Structure 1
């Protein structure tokens, strides 16, 4: 992608219909820490935030995209469900309410989860057009890559998973 906001981005598409698409960038860290978000939302006070277990304190908040960058989303395994949880696939769900943040901070959250601030969105037909113009490579999301925390190498590892040699990618393409 020529758009710097999406260069080397790995995006998990959560919703796609004839009305448009919505996805989360999963390989870009956000500057804000999870504990800061919990304090800002009143889930914990500052003292409680300091006492969080390492697993929770080190929970990486990711930059999900340029749209509504103050809105949070948690993409997670299907072992955590509330009334506001939306299934994305057979094994993956999306929750955008503070309840899941409370559950994660209390050790009652889903087995696998990632949190983003913001999302990426496309108008009707826009994503299909970008794919047709070779702007994106697509594949099914392997869960081990989806939820792992090695954000720096995620793009290259996903290309390898797809069998794509990045040195053979070109920024322009023709159509036969």
Structure 2
């Protein structure tokens, strides 16, 4: 019997160069939950080419914050692409109906009022809006880790919120001292 460690919550998953799944090639995924039931996360380095004001127009929501209107919306993963997720730091996380604490300073909100709050400039801290999510069944992520599909490292809010999207993958790898450009795109076992 093997013992599983469900310790990837609040970690980045960094795709290995040989990963050929179009949904996850060259991605960094923030793990929001990891338990015996599986894992759930958001890809945080793939803007969908949609701004917050465009998303709000589609949802018939006001977008009154000039600072936030051009904020990028991300493709959080291939599942539930019709659902919005707001990853944020917050002074008052209970202000939104469905907010879940992930780490000491990071919350995931899944209610429409959190998107509306972002569009109206009510977040005093950093945030990221994503459409869709990634998820793994029981032990699936652990198997992918064994198969060398992912690297993982503790997440930090500077990379999550302060680093440009196109630099997040290498920034996360740098936490481990890894230069992804030097890794082979081919996998193998000795």
| TM superposition score normalised by structure 2 | 0.82
Structure 1 distance, partners of 2:181, 2:126, is 32
What is aligned with 1:168?
182
Divergent runs of 4+, >3 A: none
The yes-or-no answer on 1:62 pairing with 2:90 is no
Alpha-carbon distance, 1:149 to partner: 5.2
1:128 to 125, 142, 160: 142
Alpha-carbon distance, 1:174 to partner: 2.1
Q: Which runs of 5+ in 1 are unaligned?
A: none
1:9-65 Cα deviation digits (max 9, x unpaired): 000000111111110000000122211221222222xxxx4x641x21121100001
SS in structure 2 at match of 1:56? coil
1:80 to 84, 89, 92: 92
2:170 to 152, 156, 171: 156
8 Å contact 1:56–1:104 — kept in the other structure?
yes
Alpha-carbon distance, 1:107 to partner: 1.8
1:78-157 matches, cutoff 5 A = 78-82=90-94, 83-148=97-162, 150-157=164-171
The yes-or-no answer on 1:43 pairing with 2:61 is yes
Alpha-carbon distance, 1:167 to partner: 3.5
The yes-or-no answer on 1:23 pairing with 2:46 is no
The CA RMSD over aligned residues, in Å, is 1.6
SS in structure 2 at match of 1:139? strand
Structure 1 distance, partners of 2:23, 2:61, is 31
What is aligned with 2:32?
14
1:56-95 Cα deviation digits (max 9, x unpaired): 1121100001001111000011423134111111111000
SS in structure 2 at match of 1:2? coil
8 Å contact 2:50–2:73 — kept in the other structure?
yes
8 Å contact 1:80–1:110 — kept in the other structure?
no
Kindly indicate which of the two structures has a greater share of residues assigned to strand. 2
| TM superposition score normalised by structure 1 | 0.89
8 Å contact 2:73–2:129 — kept in the other structure?
yes
Tell me the number of residue pairs that the alignment of Structure 1 and Structure 2 aligns. 169
